[in-house]
Amino acid sequence: MGKKGSFELTTITSTVATTIPPSSGQVETQTEGDPNTPARVQWDHKAEFVLSCISMSVGLGNVWRFPYLAYSNGGGAFLLPYLIILFLCGRPMYFMEMAFGQYHQEGPVTIWKKVSPIGRGIGIAQCIIQAMISMYYVVIMAWTSYYFWVTLISAFKGEDVPWGDHFCHNEWAHYETCVPVNYVNQTDISVMSPYVPVLEFFNGTEIKEKKYSVSQQYYDRVILQKYKKGDTKSYGLGDMGDVNWILLANLAGSWVVIFFTLVKGIKTAGKVVYVTSTLPFIVLFIILGRGASLEGAADGIKYFIYPQFDKLLDVETWRNAAEQMFYSLSVGFGALVMLGSYNKRNNNCYQDAMIVSVADTATSVISGVAMFSVLGYLARQMNVGIDVVAEEGPGLAFVTFPEAFNRMPVPHLWSILFFVMLYTIGLGSEIGALETVLTIFYDEWPKLREKKPMVCGLTCFVCFLVGIPFVTQGGVEIFLIFDSYAGGFSVLFPALLELMILAWVYGLRRFLDDIEGMLDRKFNIYWTSTWGLLAPLTVIIVLVMSFAFYTPLNHGGDLPAFADGLGWVLAMVSIIQLPIWAIVAVYQAKGNTLAEKFHQSLWPDEIMEGYTANAVTTDFTFSSVKLHENGGPNLYMYDNEGYDGKK
C-alpha cells in the first residue's frame, strides 16, 4: 500500500522492461501490421552504409560551407569553438542518432510512436528542414555544373579559362572595375582582393569605385548574372530580374541526376556512394598538396589555426560554429536515424559512428587548410592581409579557388578536378537529404514503396519548381536567407528537443539498455554525461546567447530590412512543428484529464498499456521524472488515493 503524498512506481519500471523489444537479433524486414505491404529494405553490404554516411556527412557542409564560415568568423576563432562543440555535442549525438534508428528500425517520424509520441514534431521539423536544404543545396550543384561545362568547353577549344584576363573585355563585365590577374604587383595598389572594399589608387590614379578581380566578376556577372550587362546595378530581393536560363538548365540537369540516383531507393544510392564518398577525398588531397606548396600558404594556414581572441568572444562565432557542427555531421536532421534504420539490428554502429565522425572532422580541417593555403597564396600575390583577400559568403569557393587556379600551370585541369569534386559531394548531400524525406513518406504510407518512381519523380519535380527563384538574377539573396535560417539556426530546436526526450523522458538508462544489449558492450561516463547533460546544456547555452546578442542577417548591408523577417518565417515553418505535434499528441492520448493525457503522450501505448486503471488514478499531478537504476523513469506523483498497491 503506497503512502499518500508520494510513492515510487517500481511496478511500472518492471512492466517497461517486459514491453521493450529484444535488443539483439536480426530485424524482420516485413512492415508491421499489414503482411501485404512491401518489406523494409536493408543495405546490401555494410560498406554501403558507412560510405553513405560519409557521403552525407562529408559533403558540402565540409568543403563548401565550413571554409567560408571559418573565413567569415576569424579562422582559428571559429575552429576552436567548432571542435569544443563537436566534442561536447556533435560526436555523442552522431552515435546516438545512428543507434536510435538502428534499434527501432524506423524513420525519423514514425520512430517517435515507439519512443515518445509527444516528440513526433521532431521528425516533421527535420523533414521540412531537409526538404528546404535539398531545394537550395542543388543550386550549388547547378553553379558547379555551369563552371564545369564552360571550363571543359574552353579546354577543348584551346582557350584560356573563362575567368581569365580577357573577361574584363566581355560584354557582361564592367571594365572600369575589373582587375586582371597580370595587373597585380605592377600597380600602386594599396588594397587589392577578389572583392575590394577600399581601393584608393589604381595605376597611380585615384578612383572612387570598388574593384573586383576577374574571378569575382565572372561569378557575379556570368554564373549568377547578378548585375546588368556592363553596369554596377545589382539585382536582389527588391528586383529579382529574369531567370538565368543557362543556370536553370543546369539546375534541371542536376535534378535529373538526383532522380535516377534515388529512384531505386537505398539499393541504388548505396552503389552511387562508392563514387560520391571516395572521389572528393582524392581530389581534395590533390588540391591540398598543390595549395600547401604555394608561396604564402603557411600564412593562410596559420590564420586558420590561430584564433583571433576578439572573434572568439563573439557570440555569433559560437552560434555559427554550433550550426556548422550540426550541418557538417548531419546531426539533428533525421538523416542518421533514417540511414541507421536500414541496418540489421546486430550491426556494430558504434564502430561506424566513430569512423564517420572522425572522417568528417578530418575532412573539415583538411578543407579549411586547403582553402586557407590558397587564401594565403593570393594574399601574398596581392600584397594584402588574408582577412581582406576575398569576399565573405557562399561564393568564396567559387571565387578563391578559380582565382588561384588561374595563376597556376594547367588551370583547366585544376578547375575541372575541383568542380567534379564539388559536384559529387553535392550529390552525396542531396541523396542524404532527399532520402530522409522519402523515407518519412514510405514509413507513414508503406504502400508508396511500390510507387517509388512516381513518388521520387514528383518530389524532384516539385523541388525543381521551388528552386526556380534561386536561379533568377537576384536569386543569390534568397539562397543566403535559406542558408542562414531554413537550414542553419532552425536545426538547433529539434536537436535540443530530441536530446531532452531521449535522455530525460524516454530515459537515459533505458536508452543505454537498448544499445548496450544491441551492441553487447558498455559505454563509459563520456557518453552518459554528454547525452544526459553536456550536449543539451551546450545547445541551450548557444540558443540563449544567440537570442540575447541577436543581430539580423544583412550580408554586408546588401540585404533589405525585410530579409530578416522572411528568414524567420522560413525558420518558423519547421520550428512551429514541435509545439503543434506535441499538442496533437496530448489531444490524441488516452485519459480523462489533461494531466493523464499529457502523461500518456510522453510514453507510447506499448509501454503504458500494461498498467491498470488502479496503478495511476485520474486524480494525480505529474511532478517529475527521474532515471530508474534498472531502466526508464520513475514517476513521482501525489494525491493517488485510488492506488491500492496492486497492478
Looking at the structure, tell me whether residues 392 and 451 fall in a common domain: yes
Is the domain of 455 the same as that of 376?
Answer: yes
> Does 561 score more than 60 pLDDT?
yes
Q: Is 565 in the same domain as 611? A: no
Q: What is the mean pLDDT of the chain?
A: 76
Mean pLDDT of 452-475: 91
Look at residue 2 and tell me whether its pLDDT is greater than 60.
no
**Total number of domains in the chain:** 2
Query: From CA 408, how far away is CA 406, in angstroms rounded?
Result: 6
User: In the structure, what pLDDT confidence band is assigned to residue 169 with cuts at 50, 70 and 90?
Assistant: low
For residue 205, being part of any structural domain is answered with: no
The pairing of strands 211-213 and 178-179 is parallel
- Residue 304 counted as domain residue: yes
- 428 pLDDT band (50/70/90 cuts)? confident
Q: Are residues 411 and 515 in the same domain?
A: yes
Point out the domain boundary residue: 550, 570, 590.
Answer: 570
The better pLDDT of the pair 175, 359 is held by 359
pLDDT in tens, 372-407: 888 888 788 767 777 776 666 677 788 888 887 887
pLDDT surpassing 60 at residue 433: yes
Q: What is the pLDDT of residues 222-256, one digit of tens each?
A: 899 888 776 677 788 888 889 999 999 999 999 99
Confidence of residue 461 (pLDDT cuts 50, 70, 90): very high
- Given a cut of 90, whether residue 526 has pLDDT beyond it is yes
**Claim to verify: residue 532 and residue 625 sit in the same structural domain:** no
Q: Is the pLDDT of residue 634 over 70?
A: no
- CB contact at 8 A, 290 and 182: no
Does the pTM surpass 0.85? The reply is: no
Structural domain of 10: 1-30+576-647
Residue 227 lies in a domain: no
C-beta of residue 641 within 8 angstroms of C-beta of residue 4: yes
Of 282, 336, 280, nearest to 63 by C-alpha is 280
| pLDDT tens by residue, 67-94 | 878 888 888 888 889 999 999 999 999 9
90 and 2 both lie in a single domain: no
**Count of alpha carbons within 13 Å of 499, Cβ hemisphere only?**
29
Residue 644 identity (one-letter amino acid): D
Domain ends where: 528, 549, 570?
A: 570
pLDDT tens per residue, range 308-352: 777 888 888 888 888 888 878 888 888 888 888 888 888 888 988
For residue 99, the model assigns a pLDDT of 93
Distance, CA of 207 to CA of 196 (rounded, Å): 12
Assigned domain for 326 exists: yes
Q: Are residues 145 and 294 in the same domain?
A: yes
Q: Which residue would you say has higher pLDDT here, 396 or 275?
A: 396
pLDDT at 368: 85
Q: What is the CATH number of the domain that holds 438?
A: 1.20.1740
DSSP 548-562: HT-----TTTTS-TH
Whether 328 has a binding-site annotation, put simply, is yes
Contact present, 252 and 141 (Cβ < 8 Å): no
The cell numbers describing 543, all together, are 540558443
Q: For residue 134, say whether it is annotated as part of any ligand binding site.
A: no
419 occurs within a structural domain: yes
Average pLDDT of span 438-462: 85
- My answer on whether 592 and 563 are in the same domain is no
Residue 71's contacts (CB-CB under 8 Å, 6 or more residues apart) are: 371, 372, 375, 390, 392, 396
Q: Which of 136-145, 211-220, 371-380 has the lowest mean pLDDT?
A: 211-220
161 inside domain:
no
Of 535, 570, 605, the residue at which a domain comes to its end is 570
Q: Are residues 494 and 524 in the same domain?
A: yes
Residue 199 lies in a domain: no
Give me the pLDDT at residue 70, please: 84
Average pLDDT of span 125-141: 90
Element (H, E) at 213: strand 211-213
Does the annotation flag 190 for ligand binding?
no
Q: What integer is the mean pLDDT of 282-307?
A: 84
From 138-147, 402-411, 536-545, the region with the lowest mean pLDDT = 402-411
Angstrom distances, CA of residue 322 to CA of 17, 79, 80, 305, 326: 36, 11, 11, 18, 6
Q: Residue 116, CB half-sphere, CA atoms under 13 Å: how many? A: 26
The phi, psi pair for 392, rounded to 5°, reads: -70, 155
Q: Is the residue at 231 inside a domain?
A: no
One domain for residues 418 and 346:
yes
Lowest mean pLDDT across 96-105, 153-162, 498-507, 616-625: 616-625
Between 164-168, 419-423, 544-548, the lowest mean confidence (pLDDT) is in: 164-168
Q: Are 24 and 145 in the same domain?
A: no
| Whether residue 66 sits in one domain with residue 5 | no
Q: Which has the higher per-residue pLDDT, 354 or 197?
A: 354
Query: Left if phi > 0, otherwise alpha if psi is -120 to 50, otherwise beta: which for 334?
Result: left
Which pLDDT band, with edges at 50, 70 and 90, does 500 fall under? very high
